[in-house]
Structure 1
Amino acid sequence: MRAPMPQCPSRPGDVAGDVDETPTDEVPVPGPGDRPMTLLERLGWPWGVLGAAIPQVVFAVAIVVVPLLAAAGIALAVALVQAAIFRARGEPTTTVLGGVFGVAIASGIAVWTGSASNFFLVGIVAALIGLVATTASVVVRRPLTGLAWNALHGGGHAWRQDRPARRAHDVATLAAAAVFAARFVVTQWLYGIDSTGGLAIAKVVMGTPMTLVAAVVAFWAFRRSTRRLITPTVRAREDRLSPG
């Protein structure tokens, strides 16, 4: 009578590798709850983006009826209230601290210089920096949305060698550059004519709506990269781990 053939030990990472059929932890299989946060979510979307314009609009309204110092204080108080609400909602720390920090700097510059328009100077400089950074990243063939996608998915992906994925991120990053360029040109012109009300309106009109447009393009580039570089790997892993 022949002795029974010994069973081969399970390979590390096999889902049915344990005797009690408990999945092993050596090769995690992504699940619905394992989706990485998107860039907008890390920045506090939607409340961080939607709430960014509120203190500036409040400042533009307040400066009409109260002195500069009081208007700056009111705007800062609104930012602090927003931060408390965001914190209570469990929003990211960047949302809570970023809004307060930005309004505090803007208020300080306006009070220090004695010019209400300077309250919006931080946003103008930020738009210029964003324009330069996004444009330069495309020129050196390292578009910022691609770097963000790679970082949010653990790093190490050959997205720059995949021409369709890199082109998608070129388009997405250039879309962001166009948004920054439009904001800088318009707000710089309004700043030059000392239009505090116009700057507040521009902040609302060119804030959330234009951010959404750029986000849609970035979302398309993110999905394209994921389908090309991550989905095939996950499917191959699932096929390898499936019984039979």
Structure 2
Amino acid sequence: MTSLDKPTEDTTAEGGHDSRAVTQDALFEAFGGLRGMIETVLPGLLFVTIYTINKDLHLSAIAALGVSLLLVAVRLVMKDTVKHAFSGVFGVAFGVVFAMMTGNAKDFYLPGMLYTLGLGLAYIITTLCGVPLIGLILGPVFKENLSWRKRNPGRKKAYAKASYAWGAILLAKCAILFPLYWWADTEQLGWVLVALKIPPFLLAVWLTWVFLAKAPAPIDVFAEMEAAEKAEKAEKAERERQAAD
């Protein structure tokens, strides 16, 4: 990523293309990419498939938890980041506990649905409070941390738009799922959940990319700190040299 001391709206065609490519790469890194999507879908898909075939809650739950743990183990063996796989394990584990406690297979999906609802509200509320959640998530990825809040208003606006988009998409998803939780059977709810895993996510990521690709470049605060440290060392060395003379 190019280190910039200040954001700029003026970019060459090639620079603009590079900025969009960097934004795309950063989004894939932040949200796990194709592999992360597979790890998100596979446990729920396995659960609903087994339950549809034999209506065995225990076998379905154990299989879903087992594949989640396997995905983490594979990442550990390959020395990859495990944050997305671990989040999947925790989500599946909570679902298994809920379902086992109530004996209702639909409760396997309830923790994830509540998480989605809470996350959707968090995107909206944090944006209304002036600290859009997507900026908090992506700031470290773009090496800008919270510099966008005060020093880069165009980028803050893009993060606000993206956060509203995420919130609206997640809440729309909840508006579909919660009625199904009450009215549909386990298989119907499960297959709708599987179908709604990837498309809304891809839509939200694409909208985030659109907003950020048009926004000013991020301020690389890490590069600024390194430059300030080098300048301080150079100034100190110059003072020492003058004192020696």
Higher RCO structure (Cα 8 Å, ≥6 apart): 2
Match of 2:158 among 168, 192, 195: 168
Please report how far the alpha carbon of residue 63 of structure 1 lies from its aligned counterpart in structure 2 after TM superposition: 1.8
Once the two structures are superposed, residues 139-167 of structure 1 have per-residue CA deviations (whole angstroms, 9 ceiling, x without a partner) of 11211122233333142524445443222
1:34-49 aligned within 5 A: 38=26, 40-49=28-37
Alignment partner, residue 85 of structure 2 = 96
Q: Please state whether the residue corresponding to 2:95 is helix, strand or coil.
A: helix
Q: How does 1:81-120 map to 2 (within 5 A)?
A: 81-120=70-109
Q: CA deviation at 1:39?
A: 5.1
Write out per-residue CA displacement over residues 98-138 of structure 1, whole angstroms, 9 at most, x where no aligned residue. Answer: 22221111111101110000000011101110111001011
SS at match of 1:168: helix
**Which stretch shifts more, 182-191 or 201-210?**
201-210
Which of 1 and 2 has greater Rg?
Answer: 1
1:66 & 1:156 partners in 2: Cα distance?
Answer: 49
> What aligned pairs does 1:12-161 form with structure 2 within 5 A after superposition?
38=26, 40-64=28-52, 65-152=54-141, 153-161=143-151
Q: What is the alpha-carbon root mean square deviation over aligned residues?
A: 2.8
In the alignment, structure 1 segments of 5+ residues that lack a partner are 1-33, 238-244
Count of residues in Structure 1 that have an aligned counterpart in Structure 2: 200
The answer on 1:210 being equivalent to 2:213 is no
Give 2:16's aligned residue. Answer: none
* Structure 2 residue matching 1:170: 3-state secondary structure: helix
Give yes or no for contact 1:124–1:184 (8 Å, CA) kept in 2.
yes
TM-score (norm 1): 0.71
Q: 1:159 touches 1:225 (CA, 8 Å); kept in 2?
A: no
Q: Residues 106 and 118 of structure 1 are in contact (CA less than 8 Å); yes or no, is this contact kept in structure 2?
A: yes
Between Structure 1 and Structure 2, which shows a larger proportion of helix residues?
2
Return the alpha-carbon distance in structure 2 between the equivalents of residues 105 and 177 of structure 1.
Answer: 23
Q: Give aligned-pair identity as a percent.
A: 23
Shift of 1:49: 2.1
Change (3 A) 1:104 1:226: same
- Partner Cα distance (1:200, 1:112) in 2: 19
| Alignment check: 8 A CA contact 1:58 1:75 kept | yes
- Show structure 2 runs of 5+ residues with no match: 1-21, 228-245
**Structure 1 position 183 matched with structure 2 position 173:** yes
What one-letter code is carried by the residue in structure 2 that aligns with 1:46?
Answer: L
